[in-house]
C-alpha cells in the first residue's frame, strides 16, 4: 500500500508521518487490495483536520475528521476509514 502524506498550513513532522503510517497500516488487515492512500493534514485556526482518500478495488473511499489535537483527528480518521472498509468488503461479498 502506497501512502502519500501532505500538509496544508502545517509542517508534517517525522513523528506525525510515522503515526499516520502506523494507523493506516492497520487498515490492510481488513482489505488486502488497497492500492494507494492520500492523506492531507491541515490547520484552520484552532481546528486540526485530517482527510484521506483510499483507492481500493476500483472504488475511492473518502473520510475526514477534525479535532483540537492533530493526533486525535488522525485516530478518528483511521476509525472512520476502518468502518468504511469493513462495509465495502461486506457489500462485495453480499453481491457475489
Query: Which pLDDT belongs to residue 95?
Result: 67
- Distance from chain centroid for Cα 31: 14
Residue whose C-alpha cell reads 478518528 in the numeric block? 76
Start-to-end C-alpha separation, the chain: 25
pLDDT given for residue 72 in this prediction: 95
- Per-residue pLDDT tens, the chain, 96 aa: give them: 788 999 999 999 999 999 999 998 888 887 778 888 999 999 998 899 999 999 987 789 999 999 999 999 999 999 999 999 999 888 888 766
Residue listed under C-alpha cell 510515522: 18
pLDDT given for residue 92 in this prediction: 81
* Cell numbers representing residue 94 in the block: 453480499
Q: Where are the domains of the chain?
A: 2-95
Second CATH level (architecture) for the domain 2-95: 2-Layer Sandwich (3.30)
Give the pLDDT of residue 19: 94
pLDDT recorded at residue 93: 80
Amino acid at each position: 500500500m502506497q501512502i502519500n502524506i501532505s500538509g496544508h498550513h502545517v509542517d508534517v513532522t517525522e513523528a506525525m508521518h510515522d503515526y499516520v503510517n502506523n494507523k493506516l497500516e492497520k487498515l490492510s488487515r481488513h482489505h488486502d487490495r488497497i492500492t494507494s492512500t492520500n492523506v492531507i493534514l491541515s490547520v484552520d485556526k484552532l481546528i486540526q483536520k485530517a482527510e484521506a482518500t483510499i483507492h481500493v478495488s476500483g472504488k475511492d473511499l473518502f473520510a475526514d475528521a477534525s479535532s483540537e489535537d492533530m493526533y486525535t483527528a488522525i485516530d478518528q480518521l483511521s476509525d472512520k476509514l476502518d468502518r468504511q472498509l469493513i462495509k465495502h468488503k461486506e457489500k462485495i461479498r453480499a453481491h457475489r
